[in-house]
Amino acid sequence: MKIPFNKPFQTGLELSYIEDAIQRGHLSGNGYYTQKCQQYFQEKYQFGRCFLTSSCTDALEMAAILLDIQEGDEVIVPSFTFVSTANAFALRGAKIVFVDSQEDYPNMDVDLLEELITPKTKAIVAVHYGGYPCEMERISALANQYGLMVIEDAAQAIDSYYLERPLGSWGHMACFSFHETKNIQCGEGGMLVVNDLKLVNRAEIIWEKGTNRSSFLKGEVGKYTWVDLGSSFLPSELNAAYLFAQLESLEKIQTRREAIWLSYFNFFQSQSTRDSILPIAYLENLLVFDFQVMSLNNQANSHLFYLLFENESSRKAYIQKLDESGIMAVFHYQSLHKSDFSKRYFPDQYQRKLPNADRFSGTLLRLPLFYELPELLGN
């Protein structure tokens, strides 16, 4: 039995909705299914204006344009994150200032943020790793104190909550991913949420390649033209139709993922020798396993399950044993402050010591977690 790291789930309605989109005769972006998906998020989570994009990377790049990032501006970003989180702002000329992770979880350490703020700081990008919420109340208060913008990188955080508020509703903007590895997916896709209503009109222009096409389609102008920066950020109606089928099954998908997550948690809590293909004998160097505080304050979405090993060599040994058992497991991000790009363009950041980000980079291991995962754990 070969078990992949991920297998995209299909609800069974994707093809029929795609066929319906074809029959409607509108295959480019911002049609019937795009509107239905955006309306779903706005109504279910009380988000501001939602804009479907071709990827979360596109959503982040839209956010960077909306912030009017200029050369010399500084943006605070966790070192332990995907490259798109930082790249979107570096593309606009920003200096990326990296913040370390918490000691006990990969999210940014909010205690370290204030010392990184300078007169050049323009924004804080809060990444909700694994769908587990950053301390958004504290981040928002700090941003208000210093007049900064907050962008939530909620790529992994659909249907997660903090203090009973959905992630994606806290920041001035938020970015989601619908990549095939996410809980809800359409192969490739994303979404920008604009909660600051002052930014909505310009976001619509940027989304439409820098034109006022939306105003033209609403009859507000007689013709449309180039009025601002922008790009081709819209996904096709085929992607949106696929995504809407997923959204209709959100509760079912989330319930199944939570059950799998809890199976992992219970298994490693007991480290049972019952019938399982997870090689228990090679866990002596395991330090901790993933945790989620399922409470009103922190409601995570069972996006991933990780193990944390004593060192990189013990992680490598366990990856090898899993591979021999037919299980694909992967490690995650490499510290961005230690990247070749940072060494060339942000040498002062490359020199900094961010021990927690480096520790997670070297010792964290993600296990398979997808809807159709077989019963590995003997449950």
**CATH label of the domain that carries residue 179:** 3.40.640.10
Taking each helix axis as running N to C, give the angle between helix 56-66 and helix 200-207, from 0 to 180 degrees, rounded to the nearest 10. Answer: 130
Q: Looking at the domain assignment, is residue 130 inside a domain?
A: yes
Q: Looking at the domain assignment, is residue 379 inside a domain?
A: no
Sheet with 95-99: list strands edge to edge: 49-53, 190-194, 173-177, 149-153, 121-127, 74-78, 95-99
Burial of 362 (0-12, 13-18, 19+ CB in 10 A): middle
Q: Which of 198, 220, 248 is the last residue of a domain?
A: 248
- Cα–Cα distance, 121 to 141 (Å, whole number): 15
Q: What is the pLDDT of residues 79-91, one digit of tens each?
A: 999 999 999 999 9
pLDDT at 290: 60
* Helical residues (DSSP H) of 46-135, grouped into ranges: 56-66, 83-90
- Cα–Cα distance, 314 to 187 (Å, whole number): 33
Asked whether residue 130 falls in the same domain as residue 259, the answer is no
Asked whether residue 257 falls in the same domain as residue 144, the answer is no
Asked whether residue 182 falls in the same domain as residue 282, the answer is no
Strands 190-194, 173-177: pairing is antiparallel
pLDDT at 2: 87
Residue type, 132: Y
pLDDT at 288: 64
Q: Which residues contact 344 (CB under 8 A, 6 or more apart)?
A: none
pTM: 0.94
1 falls in which pLDDT band (50, 70, 90)?
low
Bridge partners (DSSP) of residue 3 are 327
Q: Which of 248, 279, 302 is the last residue of a domain?
A: 248
24 falls in which pLDDT band (50, 70, 90)?
very high
Asked whether residue 221 falls in the same domain as residue 274, the answer is no
Q: Which of 212, 229, 248 is the last residue of a domain?
A: 248
Q: How many domains does the chain have?
A: 2
Residues labelled catalytic: 182
* Selection from 141, 130, 139, 166 nearest residue 50 by Cα: 166
Question: What percentage of the chain reaches a pLDDT higher than 90?
Answer: 77
Q: Looking at the domain assignment, is residue 2 inside a domain?
A: no
User: 370: which 2 tokens?
Assistant: 């997808």
Asked whether residue 68 falls in the same domain as residue 171, the answer is yes
Domain containing residue 91: 14-248
**CATH label of the domain that carries residue 284:** 3.90.1150.10
Q: Which residues contact 261 (CB under 8 A, 6 or more apart)?
A: 290, 292, 302, 305, 369
